[in-house]
Amino acid sequence: MGLHPEAEAYRAARAAAGTPPLYTQTLAEARAADLAAIQAGAGAVEPVHEVRDGYVPGPDGDIPVRVYRPAGAGPLPTLLYFFGGGWTLGSIDTADGICRRLANAVPCQVVTVGYRLAPEHPFPAAVHDCHAALRHVAAHPTEFDADPERLAVGGDSAGGNLAAAVTLLARDGGPRLAAQVLVYPNTDQTIEPPGGEDPLLFNRRSVTWYRSHYLADPADARHPLASPLLADDLAGLPPALVITAEHDPLCAEGERYADRLRAAGVPTVLTRYPGMVHGFFAMPGTFDAGRRAQAAAATFLGTRFDRTAADDG
């Protein structure tokens, strides 16, 4: 189908405001504009029982984290969430709305990881920061009042790519994961992204701009931690929810990854949102589909956490 009416209205509003593409701005300008756009589209800030900032040790110094806890006694199932932004933009604040809603809706504890950004810290810095944070939470459950048997990872866009990469590391070196949520993830850095170059929407030029910052060595595109779709074996990875948007240059590669997960025997739910564009998941105040997709992610995580608890009981 064509663009959903909400996506058409979003595009028209950007045209009326004269919003320049992020890839035409300086990094500082793009980082500020990206955060402002997401906050404007996120809707009302949802209260959470407890929100606190802290740090965990990383491979090159402390990594900032933000912890969201719903009401209720622990130890709690815990989701580590990795924000989007093409590994170049974004921060803990970028995913604030998503994490608040998931914490309440699952319910579960959500830990957002402030991984290092490119081009200052190119691949694989972000992957190793995210895995280090996961390992720390798993190894120090009392510090987080977390249930180490009910851990999951998730993320949108570049964050989805990082979540997929972290599952590969966790499968081979721990900790065990109950689930993964991949929202329009980058999964293959070697392909030429499809689609046009509509400057009012995330497009193929956006993909290559982010990629140029993240992959200091173009040969890294073939590394499975940069392109999880190219991993030799996906067996043994945690059950997955993969969310895609019809009018997104990342749609096909996200769906190919879901197909490969299924072929490897990984229980996988794939949901494509018709008429939607990249970024809709983070903006439920603009896109009703974003609200529905976040609710679907919460339901999936709650089911997987409950099933893990039953299997371990």
- What residues are annotated to the active site? 157, 248, 278
User: In degrees rounded to 5, what are phi and psi of residue 71?
Assistant: -65, 150
Is the CB of residue 198 less than 8 Å from the CB of residue 247? no
Is the CB of residue 66 less than 8 Å from the CB of residue 78? no
157: left (phi over 0), alpha (psi -120 to 50) or beta: left
The closest alpha carbon to 296, from 238, 230, 243, 218, belongs to 243
User: In degrees rounded to 5, what are phi and psi of residue 65?
Assistant: -135, 155
Integer Cα distance of 113 and 239 in angstroms: 21
User: In degrees rounded to 5, what are phi and psi of residue 50?
Assistant: -150, 135
Integer Cα distance of 215 and 7 in angstroms: 31
CA distances in angstroms from 183 to 20, 164, 257, listed in the order given? 25, 10, 12
Integer Cα distance of 75 and 146 in angstroms: 5
Question: Can you read off the two tokens belonging to residue 98?
Answer: 């998503």
